[in-house]
Structure 1
């Protein structure tokens, strides 16, 4: 029945959107695992926990936004199994670097999806990606890069503790975990 409303929506775009949904859900799952790693009593980084918990929620929102879009276009959503996330990290720096790597992969997938939509002459899909994801991804990558640089400057256990307080304060000030420049206090 969803096909009666389908117009100018190529099957390969539908498949790529399904891939993107599953990638976003995978990132959601990984961020959730990361958040609760930093909530463990032997790690105890409440700021980093909150940061990754917010990131997990944002990734789920992205997946839901794409699923809503798929239904509007007459597509069929196909959810796949989520790979097991990395269970723990050596330290905050390793987790932040992993997060940046994930964000770069998600961004590349969105860029590839945009290019595919353009080649299929699907301006609606191009607009959806541009309006909802591309700038947010760039902002999130910048925030993670800034956090990595700030943490590089904090080279002691006290520095790591202060960084956790810093990120906790940033997360408490509102906004998204990865997608708002205002979340990063500047020195």
Structure 2
């Protein structure tokens, strides 16, 4: 049986993952409109991944007999000045999600809810991977001197994101 606090945190996470999926889908739409096929593919993949995360938590709650309430999902940002701004926004969002996941883990451990703690450990590892990935993407951008402006480095970054999407 899940405590009220754990139910609340998990339900909040379901909604946060839904929002994250929408953020990445909107980033995909922005990249498509800008002609950045690699970035579009990269962000579409992340959108689907976030949706899978939502489903995973949703299913866990259902298994535990905890009803899920889908809240109103805010409209994600849709306008960006350039790809670098999008990448920085994505990394910032991943850090926010990591903090939310850590809060669930901390609360589960404090409440001696080791089943939920065990469940959420997968998400801790997943968030680590995401932060490493976006850190590498931003590191590559820095190495190239990429600021988001049109030109050769934009093409290189778009191609790099396409390779990452294909490998992921």
TM-score class normalised by the smaller sequence: over 0.9
Which digits, 9 at most, give the CA deviation of each residue in 1:61-107, with x for residues without a partner?
00000000001111010110111110121111111111111111101
1:167 matches 2:161: yes
Which residue number in structure 2 is paired with residue 147 of structure 1? 137
The 5 Å alignment of 1:3-82 reads 7=1, 9-40=2-33, 43-82=34-73
Report the alpha carbon displacement of residue 136 of structure 1 after superposing the two structures with TM: 1.1
Consecutive unaligned residues of structure 1, counting only runs of 5 or more, are: 1-6, 176-187
Which digits, 9 at most, give the CA deviation of each residue in 1:3-59, with x for residues without a partner?
xxxx3x10110011000111111110010000010001xx11100000000000000
RMSD: 1.1
Aligned equivalents of 1:62, 1:25: Cα separation in 2: 9
Contact 1:21 1:66 survives alignment (8 Å):
yes
Which digits, 9 at most, give the CA deviation of each residue in 1:106-138, with x for residues without a partner?
0100100111111111000000001x2111101
1:89 matches 2:83: no
Q: Secondary structure at the match of 1:87?
A: coil
Task: Give 4+ residue runs of structure 1 displaced > 6 Å after superposition.
Answer: none
Aligned equivalents of 2:76, 2:20: Cα separation in 1: 9
User: Could you tell me the TM-score, scaled by structure 1's length?
Assistant: 0.85
Report the alpha carbon displacement of residue 155 of structure 1 after superposing the two structures with TM: 3.5
Q: Tell me how many residue pairs correspond in the alignment.
A: 164
Which residue number in structure 1 is paired with residue 120 of structure 2? 129
Structure exhibiting the larger radius of gyration computed from Cα positions: 1
Aligned equivalents of 1:141, 1:170: Cα separation in 2: 14
Aligned equivalents of 1:27, 1:97: Cα separation in 2: 14
Which digits, 9 at most, give the CA deviation of each residue in 1:139-185, with x for residues without a partner?
11011011011112333611111111122122123x2xxxxxxxxxx
